[in-house]
């Protein structure tokens, strides 16, 4: 007997009984219990065909036996699947860390065979250029490069593809020359300034570079220098350390807020760091790391005269007006000029060591060593002309 058909028939009979007249006989509905029907429990089992579909949709269920899965309801199977997914996600997160740690541990015993070959940096590139990046400390990489390259420099070129990274024409020819020599103390961040790159340099080109007074102009030059170093010296992380240090301090804007030329101050510090790194290269030691640059900056900024904030325009105007009142007449008197006389002004202030009679102007006029004091309150007053100096006697 089909349980579903029987249950539907009972519901129809019950509905018919409820619409009968109240005086007539009333049939009591039968209380049919589906679970007493033989084979009802087996009807909740998942068929093998449905189980195959579930295993295709939820791969985690494939780890369990078919008997175990058929003895569970669909709700229980979905709960099992969600629990397995959560556990797999947590294992996957730990698996990435464990994979990185195991790869690091294997570095000491895993070596790459580097075949011999040729490389001209242009048309023929050796496969060793495309090996994975070094995983040791950047300082160690810098010092190993010093042992390999020594103080000799490869031929400098300026044909690096800076245009591909949006900085074509930002570097001067002098910048490429100094970049090729890691031990050069003539490296300047101004060589990577876009305005200076448009100029043609002579033998003293670095003296003709315009100063960078604005911080935004300095930031662009610093980024250009770091990008150029990535092309010319990919193993040299000193430029990256300097760039990241200044970036982490927001280019010292708070400490230089009263500086009239903050860009020039940052250029001076950057040039100093570049020179120090060149000296470290010559000595065979590591470059200045970001942590070490903090101490250098504190020493650099502490040795400079502290600039004070500028007073407001209104306050400065009122202060000048107050000072101009009583001293206005004196200032006019001090600016008063008298006709030329043949008296040595330097002798009157103790700065002329020539004997009397041997003191002359550039035009050959002889100068007397006498007092040149005049009375400022008397128009057209004549000099004192006494045999003493003006300082200490008037």
Asked whether residue 252 falls in the same domain as residue 204, the answer is yes
pLDDT bin (cut points 50, 70, 90) of residue 3 is low
Would 391 be classed as within a structural domain? Answer: yes
pLDDT at position 298: 93
Measured CA to CA in angstroms, residue 187 lies from 142, 190, 271, 317, 384 at distances of: 18, 9, 7, 45, 59
pLDDT at residue 174, rounded to an integer: 93
Pair 150, 295 in one domain: yes
> Residue 36: pLDDT band by 50, 70, 90 thresholds?
very low
Asked if residue 7 is part of any domain, the answer here is: yes
Q: Per-residue pLDDT averaged across 196-201, rounded?
A: 71
In a domain, 177, yes or no: yes
For residue 185, is pLDDT > 90?
A: yes
pLDDT > 70: what percent of the chain? 78
pLDDT over threshold 60, residue 233: yes
Flag whether 260 is in a domain: yes
Instruction: Please state the rounded mean pLDDT for residues 20-47.
Output: 49
- Residue 342 or 282, more confident: 282
Of the listed ranges 115-124, 173-182, 239-248, 378-387, the least confidently predicted one is: 378-387
Any domain includes 206:
yes
Q: Does the residue 230 lie in any domain? A: yes
| Overall number of domains in the chain | 3
Same domain, 177 and 227: yes
- What confidence score (pLDDT) does residue 83 get? 81
Last residue of a domain, one of 303, 328, 355: 303
Distance CA 372, CA 89 (A): 97
What pLDDT sits at residue 336? 60
pLDDT on residue 223:
97
Same domain, 190 and 272: yes
Q: Does 257 lie in the same domain as 174? A: yes
- Both 92 and 165 in a single domain? no
User: pLDDT tens digit string along 8-18?
Assistant: 655 655 555 45
pLDDT of residue 42: 46
Q: Kindly report which listed range (82-91, 115-124, 382-391) carries the lowest average pLDDT score.
A: 82-91
| Domain endpoint, select from 256, 285, 303 | 303
Instruction: Verify that 75 and 185 share a domain, yes or no.
Output: no
Query: What tens digit of pLDDT does each residue of 134-180 get?
Result: 999 999 999 999 999 999 889 999 999 999 999 999 999 999 999 99
Question: Residue with structure tokens 């100093």?
Answer: 272
Establish if 311 belongs to a structural domain.
no
Residue at a domain's end among 303, 328, 357: 303
pLDDT above 90 covers what percent of the chain? 43
Report d(CA 91, CA 307) in Å as an integer.
58
Does residue 196 sit in the same domain as residue 298? yes
Q: How far apart are CA 233 and CA 160, in angstroms?
A: 12
Q: Are residues 85 and 233 in the same domain?
A: no
Which residues are CB-contacts of 276 (< 8 A; sequence separation ≥ 6)? 288, 296
- Measured distance CA(290)–CA(147) in Å, rounded: 23
The band of 39, judged by pLDDT with boundaries at 50, 70 and 90, is very low
Most confident of 231-245, 296-310, 339-353: 231-245
Residue 189: closest CA among 269, 247, 290: 269
Residues 176 and 74 in one domain: no
Domain carrying residue 65: 3-99
Q: Does any domain span residue 198?
A: yes
Q: Are residues 43 and 89 in the same domain?
A: yes
pLDDT at 219: 96
Q: Is 60 exceeded by the pLDDT of residue 382?
A: yes
Which carries the bigger pLDDT value, residue 98 or residue 29? 98
Mean pLDDT, the chain, rounded, equals: 81
CA atoms of 162 and 179, how far apart (whole Å): 14
- Say whether both 299 and 361 belong to one domain: no
């Amino acid at each position: 007997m089909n349980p579903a058909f029987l249950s539907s028939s009972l519901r129809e009979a019950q509905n018919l009984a409820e619409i009968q007249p109240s005086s007539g006989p009333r049939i009591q509905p039968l209380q049919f219990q589906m679970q007493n029907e033989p084979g009802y429990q087996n009807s909740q089992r998942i068929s093998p065909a449905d189980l195959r579909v579930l295993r295709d949709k939820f791969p985690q269920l494939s780890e369990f036996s078919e008997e175990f899965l058929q003895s569970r309801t669909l709700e229980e199977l979905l709960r099992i699947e969600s629990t397995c997914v959560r556990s797999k996600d947590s294992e996957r997160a730990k698996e990435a860390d464990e994979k990185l740690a195991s790869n690091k541990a294997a570095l000491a015993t895993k070596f790459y065979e580097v075949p011999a070959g040729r490389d001209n940096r242009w048309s023929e590139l050796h496969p060793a250029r495309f090996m994975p990046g070094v995983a040791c400390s950047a300082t160690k990489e810098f010092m190993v490069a010093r042992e390999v390259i020594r103080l000799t420099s490869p031929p400098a070129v300026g044909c690096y593809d800076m245009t591909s990274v949006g900085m074509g024409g930002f570097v001067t020819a002098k910048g490429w020359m100094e970049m090729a020599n890691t031990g050069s103390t003539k490296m300047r961040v101004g060589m990577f300034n876009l305005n200076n790159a448009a100029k043609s340099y002579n033998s003293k080109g670095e003296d003709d570079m315009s100063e960078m007074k604005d911080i935004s102009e300095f930031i662009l030059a610093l980024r250009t220098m770091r990008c150029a170093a990535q092309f010319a010296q990919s193993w040299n992380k000193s430029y990256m350390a300097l760039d990241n240090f200044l970036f982490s301090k927001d280019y010292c804007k708070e400490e230089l807020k009263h500086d009239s030329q903050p860009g020039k101050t940052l250029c001076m510090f950057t040039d100093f760091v570049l020179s120090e790194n060149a000296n470290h290269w010559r000595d065979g030691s590591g470059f200045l790391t970001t942590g070490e640059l903090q101490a250098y900056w504190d020493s650099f900024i502490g040795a400079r005269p502290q600039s004070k904030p500028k007073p407001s325009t209104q306050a400065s105007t009122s202060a000048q007006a107050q000072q101009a009142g009583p001293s206005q007449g004196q200032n006019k008197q001090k600016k008063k000029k008298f006709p030329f006389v043949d008296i040595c002004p330097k002798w009157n202030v103790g700065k002329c060591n020539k004997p009397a009679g041997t003191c002359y102007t550039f035009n050959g006029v002889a100068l007397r060593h006498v007092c040149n004091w005049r009375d400022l309150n008397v128009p057209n007053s004549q000099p004192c002309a006494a045999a003493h100096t003006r300082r200490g006697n008037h």
